[in-house]
Amino acid sequence: MAKINDNYHKLQSGYLFPEIARRTREFAERNPGATLVKLGIGDTTKPLTPTVIKSLHQEIDNLANAKTYTGYGVEQGNPDLRQALADYYKSFGVNIHADEVFVSDGAKPDSANIQSIFADNSVIAVQDPVYPVYVDSAVIGGKTREYKDGRYEGIVYMDCNEDNGFFPEIPKQKVDLIYLCSPNNPTGAVATHEQLKAFIDYAHANDAVIIFDSAYAAFISDPSLPRSIYEIEGAETCAIEISSFSKLAGFTGVRLGWTIVPHKLAIEGTHPGEVQALWNRRQSTMFNGASNIVQPGGMAVLSKPGLKESQELIDYYMANAKIIRDGLNDVGITTFGGVNAPYIWAKTPGGMDSWEFFDLLMNQAHVVGTPGVGFGRGGEGYFRLSAFSDRANVKKAMKSIKVNLHL
| Binding stretches for ligand MLT (CB under 6 A) | 41-43, 108, 185
Nearer to ligand MLT, 108 or 151 (CB): 108
d(CA 56, CA 255): 13
How many CB atoms are located within 10 Å of the residue 14 CB? 11
Nearer to ligand MLT, 215 or 275 (CB): 215
CB of 43 to ligand MLT, least distance (A): 5
The residue nearest ligand MLT at its CB is: 42
Nearer to ligand MLT, 297 or 374 (CB): 374
Residue 209, beta-bridge partner list: 177
Nearer to ligand MLT, 42 or 338 (CB): 42
CB of 45 to ligand MLT, least distance (A): 12
User: Do residues 262 and 238 make contact, with C-beta atoms less than 8 angstroms apart?
Assistant: no
CB of 258 to ligand MLT, least distance (A): 15
CB of 271 to ligand MLT, least distance (A): 34
Nearer to ligand MLT, 108 or 143 (CB): 108
How many CB atoms are located within 10 Å of the residue 29 CB? 8
Nearer to ligand MLT, 190 or 208 (CB): 190
d(CA 159, CA 128): 5
Nearer to ligand MLT, 21 or 267 (CB): 21
Nearer to ligand MLT, 102 or 375 (CB): 375
CB of 185 to ligand MLT, least distance (A): 5
CB of 217 to ligand MLT, least distance (A): 14
CB of 272 to ligand MLT, least distance (A): 32
CB of 329 to ligand MLT, least distance (A): 22
